[in-house]
Each structure stands twice: as C-alpha cells, then as structure tokens.
Structure 1
Amino acid sequence: MKMSLAFILLFLSLTTLADDRERKIKQFIDAELKYYPGARLADLYKNYFQDAYGPGHLIPDTTHAGKYLDFELKQPIWTDTLRYQKLGVNHDYYRINLQLVKNGTIPRDTLLLAMVESATLARNPDIESWKKEWNEVLAVIKKVKPNLPGMEADEKQIEQIFSKGDVVIHHSEYYKETYHRHYRIVYRSVFERWKGKYF
C-alpha cells in the first residue's frame, strides 16, 4: 500500500513537472509570435538556442565583435521598436535592441563588455543533450502551431545542422526582411543591472 502511494505521488510529481515545462514552452512560443507573428520555426529555434548558448559564437574576439557592431549600427533600416526581449523558457538571456546604442542610451563599449561577460555564463549543453531538448520543444511547437510557414523545410535545415555537429542557425529571410531586427544578447544578471538605468 505504501509503495503504491509513493508511486502515485512520484507519478503526480513528474506529471506536474512535465505540464509546467510544456506551459513554459508555450509561453515562449506565444511571446515570440506576439511581437513577430511572421516568425518561422528557424526563428523560434534561434530564440531558444540563444537562451542556452548565449552570444559566444558572435565574439571570437572583442575587436571583431566591435567592428561588426559598428557595421550594424550604420545600417539604414530600423523599424523594430521592442527595446528588449527575454529569451527561451529559462530567460537566462535577453535581446537588447541596438537602437539603444544607436541613440546613445547604452554606450557602445558598455554593450561590448556586457557581451564578453555574458558569453562566459552560457550553459552550453552538449549536442546530444541539446538535440533531445530541442525535440521536446519542437513537439510542443508542432502541437500548438502546426501550420507555421516553411515548417518542414526549417525542420530539415535544423536536422542538417545537427548532423554536422553544429547548433547555430540564422533568422529566416522572411523574419530579417520583415522586422529588420538589430540586437545583441546579454545575460540576465547584466540585464538586471541595467534595469532602471537604461530601461
């Protein structure tokens, strides 16, 4: 009898955890599509990816990162007005709109230093763990948004990247052309430090 009760309690606990996980994944999907309703599977993947791996792939060195930042700040089209956006389900990272650097709200060098600091704090799951984690998220996406444009093609692209031992993907062309987003990502401790000062 005691064993049966323990099993029931364990089952209920695991079910609650699974339900909570699915709820958070749905919230992440809804949040991205609320602001960017044309987002594709590739864009949802990138959002979720950035929350796990941070900005490390963007900053092989600060000189390169600085040059690329300067190049992007000179781009002509700035239509995205969302100042910041929390990412994934853990919200370890936040996207910071480069408009805040362009207009002088956040100093350029402050952002660069924040990126360097943030890169060391990513959880960086190994590829096998990551594939398992992403497939769990993908199952929920297919359940709640089965008709995302280009879903099948994006899914194949992600699988091809995995097969090469890689995890990095770019935004979809539609997303880039429609929303003209210019951002960098920083760790949540940096974001919390900046709240009240820049936001």
Structure 2
Amino acid sequence: MKQLNLQPGALNIEQIIINELALHPSCKLIDIYKLLFQAYFGPSHILKDKMTVAASIKTETLTMQHTYKPLFQDIGNGVGFCRISLGNLRPAAISNPLAFKQQCDALADLMQLSCLESDPPYTINELWHNYQKTILDICPANKEEWEEVSALAKNTTIPSHSDIFSTVYQPHYRIIDIQLIDKIPLHI
C-alpha cells in the first residue's frame, strides 16, 4: 500500500490536461475527469483481490483488438501514477503463456502496492470544483456536460471512458505508482 501525501498543486492539473489532449485530442470532459481521478487516487478505486485483478488483466489482454497507445503514460508529471498499456503484455500472451501469467500476476501485485493507504487531503469533488476554471479553459464544455461530470465527482464515481475515446483509442491499461515502473517485468 502506498502512503501518498499528494497535494493537488503537486500534480500540475493544467499540464496533466494539456498532455492528455496532446496524446488523445478526441477526449471529452468525462475522460479528463477520469484522468484526474486516476492521477489523484491511482488504482485504489478498482482493486479487488489480486487473483481477480490478474484474471481481469489476462482476459482483457487476450480479447483486446488493438494496442492502446502510449504503452506508458505518466499521468502526474513524474508525481503519483502512470497508465501501463496492456499492449505491453501481448508478446508474452502470444508466445509464452507462463511468462504472460507471471506478467499478469506481477502487474496485479504492483497495482496493489500502488493503492493508497489513506484518503488524499482533498476529495475528487473538491479537486474538480477547485480547478473548474483551469479545466474549462483547456477543455471547454457546455453547462450540461459540466453538471453531468460534476455529479460523478460529487458521488466519487469513476466512469467508463466516453464513447468517442473508447472508439478512437480503445483503452486497455492499468494504473500503477510511477515509482514502481522499473519493477514491471515488461519491455516498455
């Protein structure tokens, strides 16, 4: 478990959004919210037991049609967390089932190590509303879209990616602590 004393200012919210839009220009406000949620909370929102997580990694990798890019995405500008594309596991999935299982298990272990031990100093709702002007300056949205995503923040809900993001980028990744990147038994 990770002890994270992350202040929102340490994340440089503006740069995180700019970087995401440079990589994924078709993303919508809901995708920006999901990114900030992941950058702030890491994998804590999805982690169940390691066996279930490893099995879901295996299933998703074997059934995905395309490799999500980039293979590695720093979502906190060197602070906090990163996205690891499951495309990194595809070579082993195709050629070496034992190595693939070990990679899935190792990634599940790293996700568990990346979970927060305690809540960050701010809720996602506070973070979202404190940075409203910054977010909307970079990623304009109408009032209805803002209110829809704000309702998710109020309820601490992490959504799926938008339909357009899912169609264009086909996201298949997991979130881990960026400091654990060198522990991944993958070739990134």
TM range (shorter): 0.7 to 0.9
Q: Is 1:155 the equivalent of 2:146?
A: yes
- Asked whether the equivalents of residues 51 and 88 of structure 1 are also in contact (C-alpha less than 8 Å), the reply is yes
1:30-179 matches, cutoff 5 A: 30-88=18-76, 91-104=79-92, 107-120=103-116, 124-125=119-120, 129-146=123-140, 148=141, 151-163=142-154, 165-179=155-169
CA distance in 2: counterparts of 1:135 and 1:103, whole angstroms? 42
Deviation at 1:31, TM superposition (A): 0.6
Amino acid at match of 2:13: I
Q: Which has the larger radius of gyration?
A: 1
Please report the TM-score for the alignment, with normalisation by the length of structure 2.
Answer: 0.77
Does the C-alpha gap of structure 1 residues 83 and 23 become closer, same or farther in structure 2, counting only changes over 3 Å? closer
Instruction: State the 1:23 CA deviation.
Output: 10
Deviation at 1:79, TM superposition (A): 4.2
Unaligned runs of 5+ in 1: 1-20
C-alpha distance 90-137 of structure 1, shift in aligned 2 (>3 A): farther
Contact 1:94-1:186 at 8 Å conserved across structures? yes
When normalised by structure 1's length, the TM-score is 0.74
1:3-62, Cα deviation, whole Å (9 max, x unpaired):
xxxxxxxxxxxxxxxxxx599322111110111000111111111111111112222212
Moved over 6 A (4+): none
- Name which of structure 1's ranges 181-190 and 83-92 shifts more when overlaid on structure 2: 83-92
Q: Which residue of 2 aligns with 1:8?
A: none
Larger mean CA deviation between 52-61 and 171-180 belongs to: 52-61
Distance apart, 1:194 and its partner CA: 4.6
Q: CA RMSD in A?
A: 2.8
Q: Percent identity over the alignment? A: 22
SS at the partner of 1:103? Answer: helix
Q: Within the alignment, does 1:198 sit opposite 2:154 as a pair?
A: no
Gapped runs of 5+ residues in structure 2?
1-8, 93-98
Q: Could you say what secondary structure the match of 1:95 adopts? A: strand
Letter aligned with residue 131 of structure 1: N
